[in-house]
Structure 1
Amino acid sequence: MATDDEGANEQIDILLVEPNPGDSRLFEEQCKDAKLLNTIHTVTDGEAALEFLHQRGEYADGSQPDIVLLEPQLPGKSGIEILSELKDDPALNEIPVIVLTSSDAGEKVVQSHGLEADTYLQKPVEPEDFVEFAQSIEEFWFAIVQKPSQSATRD
């Protein structure tokens, strides 16, 4: 079967690194409700995130995510340590990272360590704001994917 618009049907593999099960559940539910075609893999701490990204242990048969949503405040290895390791690893440094913050101060904390994520998004406080949040992530992804070919496809 031919597809009319390949970009609209492209599935995004998301690694959500979030210690709060309530926030993880809300994000997953809102992606489904918004009919976003994303696969969401959730881990709750920094060590599991690294295992997933390096495809080790229980994640050995998994695939690399297209994008990482990273909460900086994690048990064990912090989000800042994870971001640092991602940016220093040639096999992983091309994966876009969105740091999830609770305020503008969260972005400054990450940057104060000499690190830079691809973007920062403030986590929603109200459950109804998670739909817009999930759509922002998808829009960010499509903006990255379309950057290289955008000028070639423009009329």
Structure 2
Amino acid sequence: MKPYKIPESVLVVIHTADLQVLLIERADRPGFWQSVTGSIDVIGEPFIEAAARELFEETGIVADGKRIVLRDWQLSNIYTIYPEWRHRYAPGVVENTEHIFSVEVPRDTPVTLSPREHINHAWLPHLEAADKCFSSSNAEAILLLPRHLG
């Protein structure tokens, strides 16, 4: 049996200098668009490491700390886990704490999706990207993006 997910996750908003935001479409829920997200793998995994891991796993983008640098917003959201995904967590777990990061990439950065997780991607102006997100916490993070630049 697969172990339960830990209810601590990361959200990584990927963007260009001119606030084009990368959204990816979930394979298990076509029409559900989001930024990179993922749970920590083990209790105590540093959130920045989870963010870098998820960024690479879901898009093929490597946060090298030089050209592509993850920015920790020191901000987290607590949200109710969607009922259709609660079976992934231990019985009685209904909330998740999501830690927010962003990463600025050059516009021509190649995106390689993990086909078991995502089926499509799109670069959109940040306001349009926020409107397209199915998750309100993801949309709110995208709307906060201009405050977290540079």
Q: TM-score, normalised by structure 1?
A: 0.29
Q: Which has the higher contact order (CA 8 A, sep 6+)?
A: 2
The answer to which structure has the higher helix fraction is 1
The answer to which structure has the higher strand fraction is 2
Q: TM-score, normalised by structure 2?
A: 0.29
